[in-house]
Amino acid sequence: MAKRFDGSQQALDLNNILTDPDLVSQNIQVVLNRKTNMEAVIKIIEQNIPELTCLNLSNNRIHKLDELAELVTKVPNLKTLNLSHNELKSDRELDKLKGLKLVELWLTKNPLCDLFKDHASYISAVRQRFPRILKLDGDDLPPPIGFDVETPTTIPPCKYLAFYVENLLTTLLYCRYYKQTHFSIRFRLLKHTRLNVVAFLNELPKTQHDIASLNVDVNTYTNTLLSFTVSGVFKEVAVDGKSRESTMAFSRVFITVPAGSTGLCIVNDQLFIRMATTEEIRRAFVAPAPTPSSSPVPTLTAPQQEMLTAFSLKSGMNLEWSQKCLQDNEWDFNRAAQIFTQLKTEGKIPDVAFIK
């Protein structure tokens, strides 16, 4: 195997290893569709080249990927995997490789490739398992529309919480209310349905929160429900922008459910408000709170404005989501339209994108 390893590329080529002249001359058979042989190969990789980034297993009559599941933990840097010209009959075999951070995958000339009605559904099936994939069977893939970033940009928690609590309506774009949601203060139901809840929240007095006091606790988490509590202290802000002296404490419980494949819906929102305790008042606002800052909005050129308006009309999405789609596709109108059509057909665009 040493002859098949390229150290400069961290690549191991095991294409058609059964007919390798050196192995054949020594009467050694390496049949990678046999469990013991594949396990031996993976063990050699783990012990000698765990930093491997490229692995070619083409032309080896592989029909299942059970043993390859160990690559996820034993070869964590693997980025390119060639499984072409094998005998994989179902895309469900790829589920065994979930967790690999692949950017390039080869599956051509496997029976599973004939199961898809079109190329778009083939790409979609692969991306469900490997969301970072950029190249499939040697072809560059169109970038996925970034409605939900797979790895969010990390910002300091205090700045995020400041932005959240002082800009609730903007936050609703990302964690939206269910249309039949309930909102209550303490035990009294105040508002029912999304529009009534949002309208009521917009009427609440402006507040200044002590960011250092904020806590987020996850109460319940299942595949179908997430409940979490946000708590802390705050002061009301008068019309002149000055904070009132009285310090209040709050606890807000959200119950959410999945929305589509990537989002959340708030189905219940309960807000508890009370006078702060002596200890909470003593600790509150000791350090100056960071100035909330909204996300920068890039200035658009006149042609980009025209393209944005046209794309919004054609897609039916609102301006914010239309702009994100165009930006993610480098303002290429045709490519953005193609990606939009593909994802809409697959039902992957959340309803909030069409709320104007």
For 303, residues 6+ apart whose C-beta sits below 8 A from its C-beta are: none
- Are 171 and 254 part of one and the same domain? yes
* pLDDT above 80 for 186: no
Query: What does the alpha-carbon distance between residue 38 and residue 86 come to, in Å, rounded to a whole number?
Result: 14
The confidence score (pLDDT) of residue 229 equals 93
The confidence score (pLDDT) of residue 80 equals: 95
| Pairwise CA distance, residues 29 & 215, whole Å | 60
Tell me the pLDDT of the chain averaged across its residues: 80
H or E stretch at 11 = strand 11-13
| Together in a domain, 347 and 218 | no
Residue-by-residue DSSP string for 299-320: PPPHHHHHHHHHHHHHH---HH
Q: Which domain holds residue 263?
A: 157-283
> Among 82, 115, 140, which residue terminates a domain?
140
Measured CA to CA, the distance from residue 312 to residue 131 in angstroms comes to 26
**Residue 337 is part of a domain; what is its CATH number?**
1.10.8.10
| 86-90, 191-195, 263-267: the lowest-pLDDT one | 191-195
Q: Contact at 8 Å (CB) between 266 and 258?
A: no
| Tokens linked to 161 | 């919480």
**Is residue 119's pLDDT more than 50?**
yes
Asked if residue 288 belongs to a domain, the reply is: no
Q: Are residues 279 and 313 in the same domain?
A: no
Q: What is the CATH number of the domain that holds 133?
A: 3.80.10.10
The string of pLDDT tens digits covering residues 279-316 is 888 888 875 544 444 444 457 887 888 888 888 888 88
* 335-338-343-345 Cα dihedral, nearest 10 degrees: 180
223 pLDDT above the threshold of 50: yes
How far is the C-alpha of 46 from the C-alpha of 186, rounded, in Å?
Answer: 57
CB 331 within 8 A of CB 307: yes
Hey, how many other C-beta atoms are within 10 angstroms of the C-beta on 221? 9
Same domain, 251 and 338: no
Q: Is the pTM of this model over 0.75?
A: no
In whole angstroms, give the CA distance from residue 152 to residue 161: 15
Please indicate, yes or no, whether residues 22 and 114 belong to a single structural domain of this protein.
yes
Q: How far is Cα 229 from Cα 334, in angstroms, rounded to an integer?
A: 43
In a domain, 115, yes or no: yes
Average pLDDT over residues 33-44: 90
Would 257 be classed as within a structural domain?
Answer: yes
Among 13, 98, 107, 100, residue whose Cα is nearest residue 54: 13
Percent of the chain predicted with pLDDT > 70: 79
Least confident range from 40-49, 264-273, 286-295, 321-330: namely 286-295
Query: Which tokens in the block code for residue 265?
Result: 């819906």
Task: Name the token pair of 39.
Answer: 């396990």
Q: Is residue 333 part of a domain?
A: yes
Q: What is the pLDDT of residues 130-168, one digit of tens each?
A: 988 889 999 988 665 544 434 444 545 554 445 444 444
Contact predicate 171/164, CB 8 Å: yes
Residue 294 lies in a domain: no
Boundary residue ending a domain (283, 311, 343): 283
Give the CATH number for residue 218.
3.10.450.50
Chain center to CA of 229: 22
The upper half-sphere exposure of residue 279, i.e. CA atoms within 13 Å in the direction of its Cβ, equals 0
